Amino acid sequence: MGVTGCGKSTVASRLAATISARFCDGDSLHSEESVAKMRRGEPLSDDDRWPWFARISAYLNAGPHNAVIACSALKKAYRDYLRREVANVRFLFLDASPEVTTQRVSSRQGHYMPVSLVTSQFAALERPDNEDRVTTLSADAPVEDIVHAFLAEVGATPDTAAGDTQDSER
């Protein structure tokens, strides 16, 4: 989780591959209306986001295997919703500066999120300091380091995290 450009998709896809989990980029679950709104440089409202979080929850609960999803979850209310709806959900907050994310977003090719929305993402961000089941790591670290630090934090290794049980972390 984190603001646009912090590396969510890159880290989440690598984490999923490392633990043999299903992966989804949450951007693919946005409605066409929300994507069009962001493309126009308009920030999403809570009303835009709640149906998206319902789709995220459904994806995470869809199978017996572990799942990893990249999504912003900028507000505590969104994370609380996912904690209620998804058993054993864990969050990895990729902490990045506005300068880093602005540079990353401006260099992306083919993504609908314009650099003009970076500021609104930071304005909406409610940092998950001292929240249950959240690990905070610097988005500036190498991807492999982030993945291994997160797995160490949750007490998992690639071998133990790949389980199919209902009790394993999602």
Domains of the chain: 8-161 (3.40.50.300)
- For residue 23, the SS3 value is strand
Query: How much is the pTM?
Result: 0.85
- Mean pLDDT for the stretch of residues 45-54: 94
pLDDT score for 108: 65
Q: Is the dihedral of CA 127, 42, 69, 14 positive or negative?
A: negative
pLDDT score for 102: 82
- Mean pLDDT for the stretch of residues 45-63: 94
Helix, strand, coil abundance in the chain, percent, nearest 5:
50, 10, 40
Structure tokens at 119: 């500021």
User: Is the pLDDT reported for residue 37 higher than 70?
Assistant: yes
CA distances from 22 to 12, 68, 98, 162 (A): 10, 6, 30, 10
Tell me the percentage of the chain whose pLDDT exceeds 90. 65
Largest interatomic CA distance in the chain: 44
